[in-house]
Chain A
Amino acid sequence: MASDRIFGLITLITAVAYIAAATQIQTNFFSGEFLPKLFPLLIGGVAAICSLSIIFRADPDPDWPGGPTWISMAIAVVVLAIYAVLLKPLGFIGPTIFAAGILSYQISFRPVASILSGFGLSLGLFVLFKYALGLGNIVAYRIPKEGQLWDALAILIPFVGGH
């Protein structure tokens, strides 16, 4: 019950915010005053009604995982985010060993197997992408310039990085 209520409340707030944003959509002579706003407003309205229905007619709670699993998933999200920003400045092989290895460990909790699967996946996929499929923008490794690494990671820190 509680999960659905919280979910409904979040979506309700999002829907109201969406409607508010939709009323602020800029228009000009070509689009007419109302048409660019019409459909977003309709969507927001329907979403708000659905959210209310979910809040008042909540389903039973799903089986949520325990604390350690949440930590594993949080680590996975952080690792993936770091992978996303480092893939370009560091090239494919290094970041992939790191990301695939940690993800593998989060599933199996077997350190040696995870390290091996990290190396195996990284090298295997590199050969597959680079030589079998010929994907152009996959580069084996890059040596980042001074400060480049920090710039990439800073993207993930709110209000510091991002362009």
Chain B
Amino acid sequence: MDILSNLALGFGVALSPYTLFLAVCGCFLGTIIGALPGLGPSNGVAILIPITFTLGLDATSALVLMTSVYYGAMYGGRISSILLNIPGDEPALMTTLDGYPMAKQGRAGDALVLSGVASFVGALLATIGLMLLAPSLARVAFLFGPAEYFALYLLAFCTLGGMASNNQAKAALAACMGLGIAMIGVDSSSGLPRLTGGSLHLFDGVDFLVAIVGLFAIAELFFFIESHGKGSSIGVALDKVRVPWKDIFDTKWTMLRSSGVGFVAGILPGAGASLGSFLAYMTEKSIAGPNGGFGTGVPKGVAAPEAGNNAAAGGALVPMLTLGVPGSGTTAVLLALLMTLNITPGPTLFTERPEVVWGLIASLLIANVVLLLMNVPMVKIFVKVLMVPAWILLPGVTMISFVGIFSLTGSYFDMLMMIGFGVLGYFLRKLDVPTVPVILGILLGGNMEDALRRAMILSDGDVTYLFSSPISIGLWVAAILGFVAPMFLRNVLKKPPAITD
């Protein structure tokens, strides 16, 4: 009953005509962002944060708008996966495996609608899971002291590193880059600048929005200059779109199972949506067996990764809201949004600002329904968006990024730093160094150091205090396992190769 009254509170906050209008705008914009090749949920939301902030929306409205964009981009990602065989972001990769073959068989419309329904089921179930699980996890989180928090941050970096790259050292190095950048600025306890090299511009530290927009959006420009925008034209035709009731009915258990798998994968700090869609696809593939035809364009192969992906996106909100530790790149960007709005996620958020949490959950539910209603009839409009040529799209995105940062800080230095991050992002991605740990490091570095410092002050410099409680020992063990295990599981967890023409 508690949940129902909380939910009523949430809907009371989120269900005004104005916020509904924002939700519809956000969903529309988000689907377009997700559908455009080269723009995914992370960089789409990242570009829009500074602009939303300058618009002067209040916290709830901004949250509704951005979560709608976020969910919309998750929905939209499947459009370019299915029609172009280009995943909008990493979690959408698994959708290309069966979605593109299905589109080539002339069933592009069916694949799009089916994946839309699967996304809806996954996201809806995950939001319900979030409502059930998050409050109890928030209560557990009250037991966390500085030692536990330090171990938890470590766990996030270790599992993220383990999953994100083929080379553990590179992932760990990426996390160190982010953490190292987070240390720049005036130290909170001494009031003296640290590691600024004497530059006044760095006294405030490096704004994480500058880093996110640079690493995600500006880096993309360089990739498009390298490829000259090739490979972004539609190869398959989309004639008539109708609802494939039979396919939806046939894949109902697949959707439910995949949502469960995806949700659990999403909850693991640092694992995120890529793991969710991957595990969901592989589970369904092994249940169907060799005669299931996975990889040749079967409806189950489209439904499974989409349900898993969207369920993981919801699941990733559980550690993000209760512990302040995001589970994926996109939730890291959402955490950045909350921090920009001066909302600190953590267990106290649930007791002190319930209207924010439940308003967010209600807006997730609203966005989900709006997206389903919008996507089935309007899918043809979104497909038109794919026709925008790269030589208009990428300069446009770059200019929007600049204006966003310019209106946020008004400083040429931040814009130059953003270009620097863009160049860095290009080289990191070329060298197979994941960029999400860099972002996470910049976001969480300050909190992680605070936890360590408070632990050291409490224990008077005794290092064993970090391993003194059962919770922290468990987290340390999980962190080490999460970092080491993928090295041995690499052969088992091998990703299937993408379909080529």
Contact = CB atoms under 8 A, between A and B. Distances in A.
Given A77-B423, A107-B391, A40 B190 contact: no
Given A40-B180, A133-B55, A80 B190 contact: no
B159 to A, nearest CB: 16
Contacts of A121: 392, 395-396, 399
A44, A84, A134 — most chain B CB neighbours (10 Å) = A84
Nearest to A27: B190
B379 interface: no
Contact of A43 (B166, B170, B183, B419): B183
B56 to A, nearest CB: 9
Contacts of A31: 187, 189-190, 192
B349 interface: no
B170 A50 contact: yes
B194 A129 contact: no
B129 interface: no
A104 B395 contact: yes
A137 B406 contact: yes
B399 to A, nearest CB: 6
A4 B419 contact: no
Given A59-B432, A87-B415, A137-B410, A28 B192 contact: yes
B195 A25 contact: yes
Contacts of B461: 34
B394 A30 contact: no
Interface string B448-484: 1100110011000100000000000000000000000
A103 B395 contact: yes
Contacts of B222: 73, 76
Would you call the interface of chain B mostly helix, strand, loop, or mixed?
helix
A120 B170 CA distance: 41
Contacts of B187: 25, 31, 36
A79 B407 CA distance: 20
Contacts of A36: 187, 189-190, 192, 194
B51 A38 contact: no
Among A50, A100, A104, residue most surrounded by chain B Cβ atoms (within 10 Å): A50
B390 interface: yes
Contact of A40 (B51, B195, B403): B195
Contact of B189 (A35, A51, A87, A137): A35
In which size bucket is the chain A interface? 35 or more
Contacts of A104: 391-392, 394-395
Interface stretch (B171-179, B302-310, B311-319, B491-499): B171-179
B394 to A, nearest CB: 6
A59 B170 CA distance: 10
A131 interface: no
B402 A87 contact: yes
A64 B226 CA distance: 9
Contacts of A105: 391
Contacts, number: 199
A20 B269 CA distance: 33
B293 interface: no
Interface in A61-95: 62, 64-65, 69, 72-73, 76-77, 80-81, 83-85, 87-88, 92
B416 interface: yes
Given A39-B449, A40-B194, A84-B419, A120 B392 contact: yes
Given A18-B180, A100-B396, A117 B173 contact: no
B395 A100 contact: yes
A77 B419 contact: yes
A16 interface: no
A57 B169 contact: yes
B365 interface: no
Given A50-B169, A84-B415, A114 B191 contact: no
B229 interface: yes
B167 interface: yes
A109 interface: yes
A43 B407 contact: no
Interface of A: 3-4, 7, 11, 15, 18, 21-22, 25-28, 30-32, 34-36, 38-40, 43-44, 46-47, 50-51, 53-54, 57, 59, 62, 64-65, 69, 72-73, 76-77, 80-81, 83-85, 87-88, 92, 96, 99-101, 103-110, 113-114, 117-118, 120-122, 125, 129, 133-138, 152, 155
27 contacts: A3-B431, A7-B427, A22-B195, A30-B189, A30-B190, A36-B187, A36-B192, A40-B194, A40-B195, A54-B167, A59-B431, A64-B430, A77-B419, A83-B402, A84-B416, A85-B416, A96-B399, A99-B395, A107-B391, A113-B391, A120-B392, A121-B395, A121-B396, A121-B399, A122-B399, A125-B400, A125-B403
Interface of B: 51, 54-55, 166-167, 169-170, 172-173, 176-177, 179-180, 183, 187, 189-195, 197, 218, 221-222, 224-226, 228-229, 389-392, 394-396, 398-400, 402-403, 406-407, 410, 412, 415-416, 418-419, 422-423, 426-427, 430-433, 448-449, 452-453, 456-457, 461
